[in-house]
């Protein structure tokens, strides 16, 4: 990206900058929230004129917004009709409070902990298949590991993992799939999950879908639509976020040979490496809210009913919070990044994502003395605004 160009607010709604959004963030972060064209006319069903949004780029403004659901609603599908509805992600209190309590009972820390031995085995098998020399690390590790975990949690046969991946890409818009095909794939996913939920209601199984449909608190249970919606949330958020974390981390370390060497010798560095990756190259870059009332924030007046983008990627490089924010530092004293959000919508799967990434990175460190970028350049995704992930990430692996 040309760092000398003069940016305009509408650039925040342009796919041109998705592969490297940070110079754009820097251009507007020091000022008040930015009003920009978020969605052009004709981008989806019923969109006959541009849709504008306010962009929050400062850490303090974003923290204030995500911790104030009374002012900033998560129910964006009511405004952005082409956005699929995800249980929890698009719910507000008091419904969100009840749903999260229900889901938390099913998605417990113990369930994540019980997965660890299996995760170590699966990650080891995947890394062993990589061998030595050139490899496509997304296809070999960063994509299949989270997908197999999601399938295992949901009680879905592992041979469905590739199909689930296609559905996930369509749901998030990650692969640039044509609108009609995207709707078809999302419909297929809905129908599949609906059948799985119905099957669990008819016969108990020991998996997360069964736990979801059976969970009860104060006499309330998830209905079929809510259970399907949460499965979609888990499929997309758990899959894309973790794939992005693993890929972004390995891309960084492939350019930091000394840090790779140190991490092989001192595994206490794995956790800060992942924490700094989440800040420096946040897999989740932004999510959207709707202003429930006219709000004063960061020196701007945002009218009731406005779309508001909370840009986590910009917040995580805010120099007001992080010194030398554009440098990757594992000794960074401040680690309170917003890659997993904050407040009532803090990512329910954060612990699982970090566990998967930790196990994957340790498996790589166990087997490879060094890792380098491949001859072909890595390619960032240029479609989905919500994420900062790779489409391809060629690496060269050395065992000695």
Q: What is the CATH number of domain 9-398?
A: 1.10.630.10
Q: How confident is the model at residue 109 (pLDDT cuts 50, 70, 90)?
A: confident
Q: For 45-55, write each residue's pLDDT tens digit.
A: 677 888 999 99
Asked whether the predicted pLDDT for residue 176 surpasses 70, the reply is: no
The domain ranges of the chain are 9-398
| Pairing of β 394-398 and β 133-136 | antiparallel
Q: How confident is the model at residue 174 (pLDDT cuts 50, 70, 90)?
A: low
- Tokens at 47, concatenated: 């969109």
pLDDT of residue 154: 87
Cβ atoms within 10 A of the Cβ of 171, count?
23
């Amino acid at each position: 990206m040309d760092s000398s160009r003069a940016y305009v607010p509408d650039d925040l709604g342009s796919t041109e900058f998705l592969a490297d959004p940070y110079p754009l963030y820097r251009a507007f972060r020091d000022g008040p929230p930015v009003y920009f064209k978020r969605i052009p006319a004709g981008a989806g069903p019923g969109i006959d004129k541009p849709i504008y949004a306010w962009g929050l780029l400062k850490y303090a403004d974003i923290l204030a917004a995500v911790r104030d659901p009374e002012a900033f609603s998560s129910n964006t599908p009511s405004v952005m009709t082409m956005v699929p509805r995800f249980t929890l992600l698009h719910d507000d209190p008091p419904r969100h409070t009840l749903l999260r309590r229900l889901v938390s009972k099913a998605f417990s820390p113990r369930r994540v902990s019980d997965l660890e031995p299996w995760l170590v085995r699966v990650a080891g098998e995947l890394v062993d298949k990589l061998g030595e020399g050139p490899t496509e690390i997304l296809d070999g590790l960063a994509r299949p590991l989270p997908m197999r975990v999601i399938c295992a949690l949901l009680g879905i046969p592992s041979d469905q993992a590739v199909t689930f991946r296609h559905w996930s890409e369509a749901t998030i818009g990650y692969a640039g799939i044509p609108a009609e095909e995207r709707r078809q794939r999302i419909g297929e996913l809905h129908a599949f999950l609906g059948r799985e939920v119905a099957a669990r209601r008819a016969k108990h199984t020991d998996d997360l879908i069964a736990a979801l449909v059976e969970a009860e608190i104060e006499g309330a249970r998830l209905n079929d639509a809510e259970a399907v919606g949460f499965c979609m949330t888990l499929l997309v958020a758990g899959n894309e976020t973790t794939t992005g974390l693993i890929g972004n981390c390995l891309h960084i370390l492939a350019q930091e040979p000394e840090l790779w060497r140190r991490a092989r010798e001192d595994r206490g560095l794995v956790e800060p490496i992942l924490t700094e990756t989440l800040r420096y190259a946040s897999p989740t870059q932004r999510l959207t809210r709707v202003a429930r009332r006219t709000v004063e924030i960061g020196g701007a007046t945002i009218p009731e009913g406005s779309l508001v983008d909370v840009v986590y990627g910009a917040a995580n490089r805010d120099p007001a919070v992080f010194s030398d924010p554009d440098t990757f530092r594992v000794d960074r004293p401040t680690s309170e990044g917003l890659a997993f959000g904050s407040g009532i919508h803090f990512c329910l799967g954060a612990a699982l994502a970090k566990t998967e990434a930790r196990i994957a990175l340790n498996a790589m460190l166990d087997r490879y003395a060094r890792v380098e970028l491949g001859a072909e350049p890595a390619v960032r995704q240029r479609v989905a605004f919500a994420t900062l992930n790779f489409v391809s990430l060629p690496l060269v692996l050395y065992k000695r």
